[in-house]
Structure 1
Amino acid sequence: MAAVAMLAVKGRAPKTGYSREQFGQTWFDTDRNGCDTRNDMLRRDLVDRDMKNWCKVLAGTRSPDPFTGADVRFVVGGGSEIDVDHVVALSDAWQKGAAKWSAGKRLAFANDPLNLLAVDAGTNRSKGDGDVATWLPPNKPYRCTYVARVVAVKVKYEVWVTAAEREAMVRVLSNCATTALPGPGPAPTTAALPKSVPKATTESAAPPALEPKAPSNVYYKNCDAVRAAGADPIRIGQPGYAPHLDGDSDGMGCEG
């Protein structure tokens, strides 16, 4: 409750200019551990995991799922039963301060473990970009923990709240005397941006002979074609990557 009192109260700003791309590369490896953030969170939150390697989660169970209270199974390429949720939605943050942040702060926010939970996909999608005033987990015993985490994220990144959101926070937390505010965690509030590819300084400049320029019109019909070309797994941003090759939408296709 003391942390709620620290939050600035303002009206919701326009959503003008918002897109997912404003928060940087999806599931960027901000902690530089060699594994994308989504798989970091699946390893943290799922049990009974099947792994492709130390990084890639092929299957696992959320037991229990915090949003529903039920066990939910995750399988790569399956029915997308698990999402990695932004506890404070990126769109919500955009309308409450993030539109004026640096690119590095937005990248850190989108990949901060404090702001991420592996949860039931259907329930998460019903949440959309709702804040505490408009959406709470159906699993009522989890609401104290959920709202406390929202508060912790908003305090760490100085995301403001609307008057209705603050009232909803107080209403929930008034019944949560034993719930502690989560700590901010080790992730910094600004992340180093991906290094850009250097541009040629003149029209005549060319890449070194041993580093041929990748064709920009690469297309793979399916994962069999990707594997035949020796390009698996194919990551977002690489020539030929396309959503139809990435069944679990984790930014890495044809990894199975």
Structure 2
Amino acid sequence: MQKLTSILCLISIIGITACEPKQDSTASKPITANDSQAIEPVVKQSNSGLCHDANSGSFKRTKNFTPYDSMPSCIAAGGKAYKGYQSDFDKAEEEAIEEGRSFVSLYNRNDWPHWIDSDKDCQNTRHELLIATSKKPVKFKTDKDCNVLSGEWFDFYSGETYNDSKDLDLDHVVPLKFAHGHGGDKWSRERKQAFANDLDNLLLVQASLNRQKGAKGLTEWLPPNHSYRCDYIAHFNKVMTKYELDFIPSERRIVNRMVQACEN
């Protein structure tokens, strides 16, 4: 418990979540225009669930909101970014492209073939993992036994169990786009395919959480299931090491502190 408290406190410093969700000063009860003591926060989550920072055209107009100290905090709590929002990673990639820096080229997801059927048995990577990880015999959509319909899967990100395969996405623990921006852009197509289908880098998780995570690294997103966060950090770092991917210095400093907090 002490280890978990330490890592949650650390994460609050970098703006992912707060130490104690029930007492979170940045994500408390919704603030209204009638609250004369309200201090305008960095991020507002509207009643419709959209997260707005000062760059959003709706930031000033949003009067009834839940406050957060950062966009990642708001998104990690279940909010959705406003249209046009760019994460720090997206901004860094865009800047690198504009400056013509060689460490990253324009990302194209089609360059990373994934969910392949390497053994030609009609079951691609996703469905083979659904079969392998189900806690009970799976049922298929047709009698060809190609696509899994149902089973029983535990999602480490949410801490919940699911029975419908449609509720789950196959997540790259280290996202393809993140890998691309941290050294993977120099790989051959064959190595990109191996990475994209490596079972060491794949987890079946709640679809909405996978989409919330997107291409974010450890400094921008952690699973809402607090008890799994240290394992997630270790898993992410293991894949980074396996493929010799490098964090940028600012990321490395934060990740090192995360690891230290988990070890204490």
SS at the partner of 2:136? strand
Aligned with residue 215 of structure 2, among 107, 116, 129? 129
Task: Confirm or deny that 1:51 pairs with 2:139.
Answer: yes
| Residue 115 (structure 1) aligns with | 201
State how far apart, in whole Å, the 2-side matches of 1:133 and 1:155 are: 17
| Residue 10 (structure 2) aligns with | none
Q: CA deviation at 1:111?
A: 0.1
Q: Structure 1 length normalisation: TM-score? A: 0.57
8 A Cα contact 1:89 1:129, kept in partner: yes
| Residue 64 (structure 2) aligns with | none
| Residue 253 (structure 1) aligns with | none
| Residue 241 (structure 2) aligns with | 155
Q: CA deviation at 1:55?
A: 5.4
Aligned with residue 107 of structure 2, among 5, 8, 18? 18
Counterpart of 2:241, as a letter, is V
Show the 5 A alignment for 1:66-77.
66-75=156-165
In structure 1, the gaps of 5 or more residues are 1-10, 179-256
Residues 34-77 of structure 1: CA distance to partner in whole angstroms, max 9, x if unpaired? 331111221233323423366542212222x10011222324xx
Show the 5 A alignment for 1:28-39.
28-30=116-118, 32=119, 34=121, 35-39=123-127
Q: In 2 relative to 1, CA 23–115 (structure 1 residues): closer, same or farther, beyond 3 Å?
A: same
CA RMSD in angstroms comes to: 2.3
| Residue 42 (structure 1) aligns with | 130
Q: In 2 relative to 1, CA 33–174 (structure 1 residues): closer, same or farther, beyond 3 Å?
A: farther
Show the 5 A alignment for 1:1-256.
14=97, 16-24=105-113, 26-30=114-118, 32=119, 34=121, 35-52=123-140, 56-63=147-154, 65-75=155-165, 80-177=166-263
Residues 139-172 of structure 1: CA distance to partner in whole angstroms, max 9, x if unpaired? 1110111111111111111111122322332222
Q: Structure 2 length normalisation: TM-score? A: 0.55
State how far apart, in whole Å, the 2-side matches of 1:166 and 1:44 are: 34
Q: CA deviation at 1:16?
A: 4.2
Q: CA deviation at 1:176?
A: 3.0
